[in-house]
Amino acid sequence: MTLKADMRILVVDDMATMRKIIKNMLTQIGFTNIQEADDGSTAWKKMEDAIASGAPYEFIVSDWNMPQLSGLDFLKKIRSVESLKNLPFLMITAEAEQGNVVIAVKAGVSNFIVKPFSAQVLKEKIDKIFNK
């Protein structure tokens, strides 16, 4: 999949402030089509609606720790659907523990970023995902 400014991006985080920060960083990098969800379960509903409307999301940026459906469980749910198996997924977490990275990689995460981070680091991670 190629990187394009208007690709449909879904930012998932239970903290509104963090969603706003990530959205602003993505806008700074040059992306224009960014939507938000406040939890993995809300995000899953948005994913289903987007697929049904014929305009599925092309990239997910998700926090790990969320109340109802964690980023990891959201990722596993996405990877269990054949048409979403290769959907680019960037996991964001405050947990820098190596074990968590391994868990996320085994679940099929495309890349991983640890809070706090800059727009530059976000751009580098996105570039790595789309330039494999």
Domain boundaries, the chain: 9-117
Which backbone phi and psi does 57 adopt, to 5 degrees?
-70, 150
C-alpha 67, offset from chain centre = 16
pLDDT at position 14 = 96
The band of 1, judged by pLDDT with boundaries at 50, 70 and 90, is low
In contact, 68 and 16? CB cutoff 8 Å: no
Name which residue leads in pLDDT, 3 or 61.
Answer: 61
Strand partners, 24: none
Q: What is the pLDDT of residues 12-35, one digit of tens each?
A: 999 999 999 999 999 999 999 999
List the structure tokens of 60.
Answer: 């997910």
Strand partners, 114: 93
Q: What share of the chain is helix, strand, coil (3-state, %, to 5)?
A: 45, 15, 35
Q: What is the pLDDT of residues 53-95, one digit of tens each?
A: 999 999 999 999 999 999 999 999 999 999 999 999 999 988 7
Name which residue leads in pLDDT, 99 or 64.
Answer: 64
Distance (Å, whole) CA 53 – CA 76: 23
The set of residues, in sequence order, having a beta carbon less than 8 Å from that of 77 and lying 6+ positions away, is 40, 44, 69
Q: Does the predicted TM-score (pTM) go above 0.85?
A: yes
List the structure tokens of 119.
Answer: 């727009």
CATH superfamily of the 9-117 domain: Response regulator (3.40.50.2300)
Helix (H) or strand (E) holding 92: strand 89-93
